[in-house]
């Protein structure tokens, strides 16, 4: 992996741990962080040794405290639009990464930070994590997908409550409303994220990647079209070695050994 100035990337047993590293600014997303996240996710998607990604923030206080307000404050209309497009493209890259991406939320996940966590597949939060979309208090609306992803994740009513009031909610409330899937003690956060990825990596990476695609695309469709898409994805599994190995192992009463190869030899 390349060297980055605002990201730390470590690889452990097929899992890339990407840490956004601007702790003095509570890991706020400036243009450099967005550019580097974009480049890093291109590299991670193309790197066959990487099977899953954990995304977290540096320090104990913040995952990401939002888009960088200092940088944004001076933007004109054109710069604001370019910044929005940059952020939206990065978040789409995270969402569409063919590998599972787990957010390990270690503190504030506000504005763009909450939106970045929502672009990940699964959110695991430390007990100290706090979530919110404070944009209306800055005279803007969430612009990195917050109005869309939050409503899809937790429902329109709860999304409107959070966005209109700019309320900041703690980890337990985030768990209750379905914004996060697990809450852990702060010192156990990375281990819990690793434990989830480890369980995923035991399964067929081909099937997991196809399931991600089916869920992400299917939720945007009506049920008849979504079912058709699922059938297409289901059929695609039968091109893979993993399908052959998974079913053969079941019949032979042994544990499967998945190659992750898409096309049968
Ligand atoms: N940007 C830049 N710097 C930030 C920051 C941010 N979002 N959040 C914190 N910092 C900096 C602080 O300025 C401070 O820097 P120094 O003064 O030490 O130089 C340092 O981090 C520590 O923060 P505090 O001193 O404020 O720490 P506290 O514990 O007192 O408070 C806090 C923590 C998280 C409650 C507070 O820092 C805070 O309220 N931060 C801002 C949170 C926020 O409003 N976030 C949402 C930002 S809006 C767009 C698309 C998307 C977006 C925008 C546009 N387009 C369509 C164009 C997204 C918008 C957002 O994310």
Residue 141: predicted pLDDT: 93
Residue whose CA is closest, atom 47 of ligand 1?
66
The whole-angstrom separation of Cα 53 and Cα 69 is: 27
Split at pLDDT 50, 70, 90, the class of 62 is: very high
* Residue 151 Cα to ligand 1 middle (Å): 23
Residue 1: predicted pLDDT: 83
Beta bridge partners of 169: 131
> Is the per-residue pLDDT at 95 higher than 90?
yes
Averaged over 67-86, what is the pLDDT?
90
| DSSP conformation class of 138 | G
* Residue 30 Cα to ligand 1 middle (Å): 11
Give CA separation, 152 vs 69, 198, 201, in Å.
26, 27, 27
Beta bridge partners of 123: 103
Strands (E), the chain: 7-12, 15-20, 52-57, 62-64, 101-105, 108-110, 122-126, 130-132, 168-170, 182-184
The whole-angstrom separation of Cα 199 and Cα 6 is: 29
> Is the per-residue pLDDT at 263 higher than 80?
no
Domains, the chain, with CATH or none: 7-201 (3.90.226.10), 205-251 (1.10.12.10)
Question: For the ranges 28-42, 49-63, 70-84, 160-174, which has the lowest average pLDDT?
Answer: 70-84
> Is the per-residue pLDDT at 195 higher than 80?
yes
Catalytic site includes residue 115 = yes
The whole-angstrom separation of Cα 153 and Cα 108 is: 19
Strands (E), 13-145: 15-20, 52-57, 62-64, 101-105, 108-110, 122-126, 130-132
> Is the per-residue pLDDT at 184 higher than 70?
yes
Neighbours of 103 (CB within 10 A): 30
Averaged over 245-258, what is the pLDDT?
97
Split at pLDDT 50, 70, 90, the class of 265 is: low
- Which tokens in the block code for residue 6? 């605002």
Residue 2: predicted pLDDT: 87
Residue 76: predicted pLDDT: 92
pLDDT in tens, 11-53: 999 999 999 999 999 999 999 999 999 999 999 999 999 999 9
Pairing of strands 52-57, 101-105: parallel
Residue recorded with tokens 């390990």:
104
Split at pLDDT 50, 70, 90, the class of 264 is: low
Pairing of strands 101-105, 122-126: parallel
Catalytic site includes residue 135 = yes
Residue 233: predicted pLDDT: 97
Mutate to test the pocket of ligand 1, among 22, 25, 26 (most ligand atoms within 8 A of CB): 26
Mutate to test the pocket of ligand 1, among 29, 69, 86 (most ligand atoms within 8 A of CB): 69
* Residue 128 Cα to ligand 1 middle (Å): 17
pLDDT in tens, 101-140: 999 999 999 999 999 999 999 999 999 999 999 999 999 9
Averaged over 231-244, what is the pLDDT?
96
- Which tokens in the block code for residue 208? 């997991």
Sheet holding 108-110, edge to edge: 62-64, 108-110, 130-132, 168-170
Give the chain's mean pLDDT: 96
């Amino acid at each position: 992996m390349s060297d980055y100035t605002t990201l730390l990337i470590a690889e452990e047993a097929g899992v890339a741990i990407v840490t956004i590293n601007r702790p003095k600014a509570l890991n706020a997303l400036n243009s450099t962080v967005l550019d580097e996240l974009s480049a890093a996710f291109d590299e991670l998607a193309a790197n066959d040794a990487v099977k899953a990604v954990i995304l977290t923030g540096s320090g104990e206080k913040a995952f990401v405290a939002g888009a960088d307000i200092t940088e944004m404050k001076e933007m004109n209309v054109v710069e604001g639009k370019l910044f929005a497009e940059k952020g939206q493209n990065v978040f789409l890259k995270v969402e569409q990464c063919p590998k599972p991406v787990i957010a390990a939320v270690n503190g504030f996940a506000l504005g763009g930070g909450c939106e970045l966590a929502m672009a990940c597949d699964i959110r695991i939060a430390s007990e100290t994590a706090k979530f919110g979309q404070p944009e209306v208090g800055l005279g803007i609306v969430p612009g990195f997908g917050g109005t869309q992803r939050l409503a899809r994740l937790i429902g329109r009513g709860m999304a409107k409550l959070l966005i209109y009031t700019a309320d900041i909610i703690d980890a337990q409330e985030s768990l209750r409303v379905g914004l996060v899937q697990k809450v852990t003690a702060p010192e156990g956060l990375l281990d819990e994220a690793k434990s989830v990825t480890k369980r995923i990596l035991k399964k067929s990476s081909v099937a997991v990647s196809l399931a991600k695609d089916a869920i992400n695309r299917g939720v945007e469709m009506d049920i008849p079209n979504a079912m058709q898409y699922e059938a297409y994805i289901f059929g695609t599994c039968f091109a893979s070695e993993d399908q052959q190995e998974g079913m053969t192992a079941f019949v032979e009463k042994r544990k499967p050994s998945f190659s992750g190869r898409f096309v049968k030899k």
